[in-house]
């Protein structure tokens, strides 16, 4: 009923293809009948994929792959590896969403059904020496599984139905299905028996996930592990009761509906303009703004948004969508950043509160999974920003350069979207982005491992030990008191267990894929930042293929938040760098569009 995981999500990033070449490991591959690769290895060690799949062609072993995630076939570098490997894959696994993503990567008809995709994948050419044809297995959660074989009709096989109330754990159920299916393959079973074995393994995992214990059989020697788990679970429950009892203000901010009632939406969300840089908002202010709620089609969550359109010009220079940081929302820091771009530079701006933040729906400051979080942001951008807001400006300009702007976690979000969807933005502006989290912000390794275990029991518990972010956020200490007084919708609790792990998942993904950032960028970062790592900006620049169109600007003495709460000339310097870059990039984009 709750997604649970006891694993180091970044462990695979440390994998190197030389591990395959270890004599003992290579001997296993040489003599294997079946070799199975999770699709995640495409992102981590394509060399290992190539070596092992080539060896299977040579030895005649079955080579099997699980697509595993949409981004494996959406990120250009990863997609290239998958498409090059496909001719060597004897059995291809995936769910219906991954199958449609692969079909899109192959530029097939978007209206193809899952069975049609399965058949077409099975009919793709095999590598020379592969004479047995391909088997494609597409699962659909609680629905039937489709299996297609080269030259044969597709067939549907039932799974074992389970009532929702009986489900203990859904995490890794797909992997359990594959395990059961391959067990049937090793016993030379037909498709019907293999599908039945896969369905049974998934059913067993749904109901009894602990039966496959990493500790083996529970004995008197291991009962202390159970005792620790029970005590930690009780500690979480006690902490949660105290949290609800003594921090009513935080507790009452849990849902979007509560937050919207407590802090009603106002156009003038920030009480004061940037000192010396912006006028106070008034009826004469050169800013046209609207606000509202948009319901995501996939989840029904209501997303709070604000749009600003510059006045006094025939059309805006471009459109910027701004993404706030962890625990924050769009109505404080981002609000004045949007005003600067709109009033000073004449760009139309879109602000929105991400799920679980500000006036949007969702448990406050809860991020269940980084890639799901990215997908919800992408859905809002596709449906509302590009589907509604930008077309409303089309009468004044047929094409407007489109930019992503993100601060801190929002910077990590924008960077992730640019990796997962390389053509989404014409450029990205990253302010103190979450590319890597400094080691000083991590708990000790033993505490981190305990937290990973606790996240299985209480993923939403706000008990992750961290520094007080407010104390290291601003250049001037008095800004902490100002923010505490006026930033009413900021989350003030400790990070939630699953949120902390999801943020680590995000930074691991971004930092492992710097070379896949093909969207021109500017990074502006305080050199004294203790929350996100300024050194990672330089790593991004050095590894990115778009250096000639990108910039990294580091500001000595400034900390995590660098577009306000400091001396006006310091803030103006940051904005000047951003303005220079975006205007140059807009000129480039307009030239490129004219050439097309």
Q: Which two tokens stand for residue 17?
A: 């293809």
Residue 184: closest CA among 298, 64, 266, 296: 64
- C-alpha neighbours within 13 Å on the C-beta side of residue 146: 21
Domain-wise residue ranges, the chain: 11-211, 284-595
pLDDT of amino acid 212: 38
Q: What confidence score (pLDDT) does residue 356 get?
A: 96
pLDDT of the residue at 145: 93
Q: What is the pLDDT of residue 3?
A: 45
Contact 507, 376 (CB under 8 A): no
- Phi, psi at 566, each rounded to 5°: -155, -175
Describe the strand order of the beta sheet including 91-95 as a list of residue ranges. 34-38, 62-66, 91-95, 135-140, 143-149, 155-157
Q: Is 70 helix (H, G, I), strand (E, B) or coil?
A: helix
Q: If we measure between CA atoms, which residue out of 364, 353, 304 comes closest to residue 496?
A: 364
Residues 6+ apart with CB under 8 A from 253: 259, 262, 364, 489, 491
CA-nearest of 592, 288, 595 to 427 is: 592
Q: Quick one: three-class SS letters along 76-123?
A: HHHHHHHHHHHHHCCEEEEEHHHHHHHHHHCCCCCCCCHHHHHHHHHC
Indicate the class that CATH gives domain 11-211.
alpha beta
Residue 264 has a CB neighbour count (10 Å cut-off) of: 8
Rounded Cα distance between 238 and 582, Å, is: 50
Distance between CA atoms of 323 and 355, rounded to whole angstroms? Answer: 11
Task: Tell me the β-bridge partners of 535.
Answer: none
For residue 565, the model assigns a pLDDT of: 82
Which own/partner pairs from 454-458 qualify as long-range (CB within 8 Å, at least 24 positions apart)?
Answer: 454/232, 454/233, 454/236, 454/497, 455/4, 455/5, 455/6, 455/497, 455/498, 455/501, 456/4, 456/5, 456/6, 457/229, 457/232, 457/233, 457/236, 458/233, 458/236, 458/237, 458/240, 458/497
Q: Is 361 a catalytic residue?
A: no
Q: Give the pLDDT score at 12.
A: 58
Give the start-end residues of each E strand in 277-392. 287-295, 302-310, 319-323, 348-352
Instruction: Dihedral sign for Cα 332, 514, 553, 340, please.
Output: negative
Q: How far is CA 136 from CA 38, 151, 191, 569, in A?
A: 15, 12, 11, 61
- Catalytic annotation, pick one of 22, 111, 166, 175: 175
Provide the pLDDT for residue 235. Answer: 55
Sign of CA dihedral 566, 567, 572, 573: negative
Question: What homologous superfamily does CATH list for 284-595?
Answer: Alpha/Beta hydrolase fold, catalytic domain (3.40.50.1820)
Instruction: Write down the pLDDT at residue 41.
Output: 80
DSSP 345: T
**Angstrom distance (rounded) from CA 424 to CA 381:** 9
pLDDT tens series, the chain, 596 aa? 444 444 555 555 567 778 888 888 899 998 899 999 988 788 778 888 999 999 999 999 999 999 988 878 887 888 899 999 999 999 999 999 999 999 999 999 988 999 999 999 999 999 987 878 999 999 988 889 999 999 999 999 888 766 665 555 555 677 888 988 998 898 888 898 888 888 878 776 554 444 433 333 434 444 444 455 555 555 555 555 554 444 444 445 678 998 998 888 764 455 556 666 666 665 455 567 899 999 999 999 999 999 999 988 888 999 999 999 999 999 988 998 999 999 999 999 999 999 999 999 999 999 999 999 999 999 999 999 999 999 988 665 568 999 999 999 999 999 999 999 999 999 999 999 999 877 666 666 666 777 778 888 888 988 888 777 777 888 777 788 788 788 889 998 889 999 999 999 999 899 999 999 999 999 999 999 989 999 999 999 999 999 999 999 999 989 999 998 888 899 999 999 999 999 999 999 999 888 76
Q: What is the 3-state secondary structure (H, E, C) of 149-174?
A: ECCCCCEEECCCCCCHHHCCCCCCHH
CA–CA–CA angle 323, 9, 28 (5° rounding): 145
C-alpha–C-alpha distance, residues 432 and 559, integer Å: 9
Q: Give the CA angle between residues 582, 585, 590 to the nearest 5°.
A: 125
Per-residue pLDDT, 216: 37
| Extended beta strands in 167-318, E state | 287-295, 302-310
Tokens of 385: 């920003």
Structure tokens at 173: 């159920």
Encoding tokens for residue 549?
């169109």
Cα 493 off chain centre by: 22
How many residues can be counted in the chain? 596
């Amino acid at each position: 009923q709750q997604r649970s995981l006891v694993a180091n999500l970044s462990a695979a990033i440390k994998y190197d293809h030389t591990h395959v070449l270890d004599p003992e490991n290579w001997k296993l591959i040489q003599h294997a009948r079946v070799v199975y690769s999770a699709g995640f290895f495409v992102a981590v060690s394509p060399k290992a994929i190539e070596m092992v799949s080539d060896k299977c062609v040579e030895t005649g072993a079955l080579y099997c792959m699980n697509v595993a995630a949409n981004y494996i076939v959406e990120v250009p570098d990863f997609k290239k590896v998958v498409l090059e490997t496909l001719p060597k894959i004897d059995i291809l696994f995936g769910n219906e969403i991954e199958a449609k993503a692969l079909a899109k990567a192959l530029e097939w008809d978007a209206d193809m059904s899952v069975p049609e995709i399965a058949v077409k994948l099975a009919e793709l050419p095999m590598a020379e020496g592969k004479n047995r044809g391909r088997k494609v297995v597409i699962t659909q959660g609680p629905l039937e599984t489709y299996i297609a074989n080269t030259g044969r009709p597709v067939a549907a096989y039932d799974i074992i139905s389970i009532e929702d109330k009986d489900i203990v754990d859904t995490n890794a159920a797909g992997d359990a299905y594959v395990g059961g299916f391959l067990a049937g393959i090793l016993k030379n079973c037909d498709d019907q028996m293999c599908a039945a074995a896969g369905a049974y393994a998934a059913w067993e995992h749904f109901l009894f996930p602990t039966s496959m214990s990493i500790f083996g059989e529970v004995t008197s020697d291991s009962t202390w592990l159970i005792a620790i788990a029970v005590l930690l679970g009780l500690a979480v429950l006690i902490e949660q009761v105290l949290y609800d009892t003594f921090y009513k203000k935080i507790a009452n901010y849990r849902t979007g509906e509560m937050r919207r009632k407590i802090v009603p939406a106002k156009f003038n969300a920030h009480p004061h303009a940037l000192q010396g840089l912006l006028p106070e908002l008034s009826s004469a202010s050169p800013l046209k703004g609207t606000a509202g709620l948009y319901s995501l089609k996939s989840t029904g969550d209501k997303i709070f948004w604000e749009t600003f359109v510059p006045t006094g010009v025939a059309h805006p220079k471009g459109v910027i969508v701004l993404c706030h940081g962890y625990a924050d929302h769009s109505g404080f820091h981002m609000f004045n950043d949007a005003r600067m771009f709109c009033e000073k530079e004449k760009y139309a701006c879109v602000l929105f509160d991400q799920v679980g933040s500000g006036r949007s729906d969702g448990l406050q400051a809860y991020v269940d999974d980084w890639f799901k979080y990215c997908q919800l942001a992408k859905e809002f951008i596709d449906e509302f920003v590009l589907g509604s807001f930008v077309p409303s400006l089309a009468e004044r300009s047929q094409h407007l350069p489109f930019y992503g702007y993100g601060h801190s976690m929002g910077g990590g979000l924008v960077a992730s979207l640019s990796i997962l969807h390389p053509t989404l933005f014409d450029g990205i502006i990253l302010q103190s982005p979450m590319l890597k989290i400094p080691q000083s912000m991590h708990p000790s390794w033993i505490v981190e491992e305990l937290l990973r275990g606790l996240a299985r029991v209480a993923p939403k518990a706000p008990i992750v030990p961290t520094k007080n972010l407010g104390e290291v956020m601003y250049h001037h200490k008095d800004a902490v008191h100002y923010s505490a007084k006026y930033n009413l919708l900021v989350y003030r609790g400790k990070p939630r267990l699953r949120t902390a792990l999801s943020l680590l998942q995000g930074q691991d993904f971004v930092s492992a894929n710097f070379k896949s950032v093909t969207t021109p960028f500017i990074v502006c970062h305080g050199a004294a930042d203790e929350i996100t790592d300024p050194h990672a900006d330089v790593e991004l620049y050095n590894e990115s293929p778009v250096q000639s169109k990108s910039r990294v600007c580091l500001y000595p003495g400034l900390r995590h938040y660098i577009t306000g709460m400091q001396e006006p000339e310091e803030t103006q310097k940051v904005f000047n760098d951003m303005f220079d870059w975006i205007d140059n990039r807009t000129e480039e984009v307009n030239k490129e569009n004219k050439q097309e």
